[in-house]
């Protein structure tokens, strides 16, 4: 899909969402429970939608919250539920709706101190982990809800459930919750318990998400090294839930850290437009991060050794260096893995594996081989890393979409959901302890394990209807008739992830110097083709073209 002409430029008035209309539609619009597009549907990161499309409205949240109450009761989860929200306009009304149902069901809710306080996804995950694993005595297990559509545009809302392991719920849980929520919608919410907001607010407990998270950071990142080295950091929360966290981190740990943009605005009027002309808080996008990139490349760039960005719920990271600009997420994952497993965490058990999604760069595979470390390759979705992070068999799990987390310095679990804050801080730790920027280290890796050729990586979309997408999910290796891709013999055809045997919901095809993976979009009538070549951009283009032909043939298109 073509890049929009205004991509990377500041948003104008006509780009901004009508917040009043958005909030009005939240309560006034009633979704049709028999319309599949207006039902509750959990993707890889919870239920998302917009009140303007009848896909994220009060009835959705009431039904989904009741379904979560029913689910946790069935699972025997009796501890507190940690409830957090981000800065999207729909998050506050959804937070109110959730509170009314949770309290009516007798759930012990621990949440922020006010509507104007916001909580990143990793802080909720950390709170669940701390309660369930680090308490002095056994106590009823806690779980959590995060109200966020992540980096989605301002018109959207999102609702995620994190069970007692602290990470994203698996498909068994989300499938049950979605089915129950839709059943409740069809029943006119007759089985939904609810109390008035005023009563709900009097029943909740205030939890200091930010204080607990910020004080614990030295357990996972060497903030002392960052402070002693005097690394100059520019942190841009992109108007998201980490906005107060970064100043608190600077104050608590004495870091030379400036919050580049402390503004919170539900229209995100200060953002530059993403590649398609939409406002999207994607800290891995050069267009969405254009303002921070400009700061680092302009006269003010000398003020910082590194600049970082986070999306609206701070589960993703973006790293900008003076010499390399915005790092490709795959490049930074490779650098982070090389650094952490290469001696920076001596207390991690030697046998801990590296976790990556199968659409992440093969540079990670090469780094793993150079380090003589086991690589665990899983399908797309951070939920697949949760068991390994919980039991310590995986010390680092990373996705190509700039989401990752890793163990504490002593090898214990930190979070089981993506944590953009610690990945951002890790860039400063790398600078402090090695004297080199992550972009400089990536250039070294290209020479050391990449054969001197920076791999070319890209994702493109190809049209596909619902039936074609369903067929793509169910493809087998026998459905692929091709024997070579872009002049190289095919070495493997995968429909299950090598790391855990789980279905990948598509197909991955590899050659000696390239690979592609195709999987259906969960939100659009397209399928996504991820591809990479260690022979340069021209070879990548050939891989992409032939990949689409191979997949279309397999789908009968």
Determine the straight-line distance between the first and last CA of the chain, rounded to whole angstroms.
Answer: 20
Catalytic residue status for 150: yes
Which bin fits 112, alpha (ψ -120 to 50), beta or left (φ > 0)?
beta
Q: Which of 47, 421, 428, 84 is nearest to 238 (CA)?
A: 421
* Number of residues assigned to the chain: 557
Q: Which of 485, 483, 467 is nearest to 529 (CA)?
A: 485
Q: Pseudo-torsion of CA 381, 382, 387, 392, nearest 10°?
A: 140
Active-site position among 50, 97, 125, 150: 150
∠ CA 295-300-304, nearest 5°, is 85
Q: Where are the alpha helices (DSSP H) in 399-527?
A: 420-434, 438-449, 466-473
- Return all residues near 245 (Cβ < 8 A) that are at least 6 apart: 120, 123, 210, 213, 214, 237, 314, 421
- Answer whether 81's CB lies under 8 Å from 103's CB: no
CB atoms within 10 A of CB 78: 14
> Rounded to the nearest 5°, which phi and psi values hold at 358?
-75, -5
Three-class SS state of 485: strand
Handedness of CA 520, 524, 525, 528 (dihedral sign): negative
- Return all residues near 225 (Cβ < 8 A) that are at least 6 apart: 429, 432, 433
Q: In whole angstroms, give the CA distance from residue 480 to residue 175.
A: 30
Q: In whole angstroms, give the CA distance from residue 226 to residue 89.
A: 35
Q: In whole angstroms, give the CA distance from residue 144 to residue 346.
A: 32
Q: In whole angstroms, give the CA distance from residue 203 to residue 402.
A: 37
Q: In whole angstroms, give the CA distance from residue 45 to residue 63.
A: 18
Which bin fits 348, alpha (ψ -120 to 50), beta or left (φ > 0)?
beta
- Return all residues near 478 (Cβ < 8 A) that are at least 6 apart: none
Q: Which of 385, 349, 355, 347 is nearest to 166 (CA)?
A: 385
DSSP character at residue 217: G
**Which residue numbers are catalytic?**
150
């Amino acid at each position: 899909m073509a890049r929009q002409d205004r991509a990377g430029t500041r948003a104008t008035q006509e780009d901004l969402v009508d917040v009043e209309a958005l909030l009005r539609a939240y309560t006034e619009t009633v979704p049709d429970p028999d319309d599949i597009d207006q039902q509750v549907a959990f993707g890889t990161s919870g239920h998302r939608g917009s009140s303007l499309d009848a896909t994220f409205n009060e009835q959705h949240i009431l039904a989904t919250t009741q379904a979560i109450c029913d689910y946790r009761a069935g699972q025997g989860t009796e501890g507190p539920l940690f409830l957090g929200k981000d800065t999207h306009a729909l998050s506050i009304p959804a937070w109110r709706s959730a509170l009314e149902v949770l309290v009516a069901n007798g759930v012990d809710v621990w949440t922020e101190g006010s509507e104007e306080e916001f909580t990143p996804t990793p802080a909720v995950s950390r709170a669940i982990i701390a309660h369930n694993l680090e308490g002095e005595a056994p106590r009823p297990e806690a779980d959590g809800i995060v109200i966020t559509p992540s980096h989605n545009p301002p018109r959207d809302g999102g609702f995620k459930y994190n069970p007692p392991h602290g990470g994203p719920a698996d498909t068994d849980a989300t499938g049950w919750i979605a089915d129950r929520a839709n059943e409740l919608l069809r029943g006119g919410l007759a089985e939904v318990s609810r109390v008035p907001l005023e009563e709900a607010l009097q029943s909740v407990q205030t939890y200091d998400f930010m204080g607990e998270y910020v004080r614990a950071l030295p357990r996972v990142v060497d903030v002392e090294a960052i402070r002693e080295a005097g690394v100059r950091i520019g942190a841009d929360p992109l108007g998201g839930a980490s906005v107060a966290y970064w100043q608190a981190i600077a104050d608590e740990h004495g870091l030379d850290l400036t919050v580049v943009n402390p503004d919170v605005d539900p229209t995100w009027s200060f953002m530059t437009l993403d590649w398609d002309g939409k406002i999207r808080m994607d800290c891995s996008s050069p267009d969405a991060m254009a303002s921070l990139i400009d700061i680092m490349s302009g006269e003010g760039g000398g003020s910082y050794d590194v600049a970082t960005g986070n999306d609206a719920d701070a589960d993703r990271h973006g790293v900008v260096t003076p010499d390399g600009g915005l790092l490709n997420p795959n490049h930074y994952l490779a650098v982070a893995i090389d650094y952490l497993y290469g001696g920076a965490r001596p207390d991690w058990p030697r046998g801990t594996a590296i976790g990556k999604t199968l659409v992440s760069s093969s540079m990670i595979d090469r780094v793993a081989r150079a380090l003589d470390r086991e690589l665990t390759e899983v399908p797309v979705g951070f939920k697949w890393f949760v068991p390994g992070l919980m039991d310590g068999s995986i010390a680092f799990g990373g996705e190509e979409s700039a989401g990752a987390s890793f163990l504490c310095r002593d090898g214990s679990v930190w979070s089981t959901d993506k944590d953009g804050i610690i990945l951002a801080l890790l860039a400063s730790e790398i600078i402090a302890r090695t004297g080199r920027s992550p972009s400089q280290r990536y250039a070294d890796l290209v020479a050391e394990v990449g054969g001197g050729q920076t791999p070319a990586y890209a994702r493109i979309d190809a049209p596909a209807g619902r039936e074609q997408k369903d067929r793509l999910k169910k493809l087998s290796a026998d459905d692929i008739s091709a024997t070579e891709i872009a002049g190289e013999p095919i070495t493997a055809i995968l429909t299950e992830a090598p790391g855990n045997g789980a279905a990948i919901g598509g197909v991955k095809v590899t050659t000696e110097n390239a690979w592609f993976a195709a999987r259906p979009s969960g939100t659009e009538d397209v399928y996504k083709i991820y591809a990479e070549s260690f022979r340069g951009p021209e070879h990548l283009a050939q891989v992409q073209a032939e990949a689409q032909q191979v997949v279309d043939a397999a789908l009968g298109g």
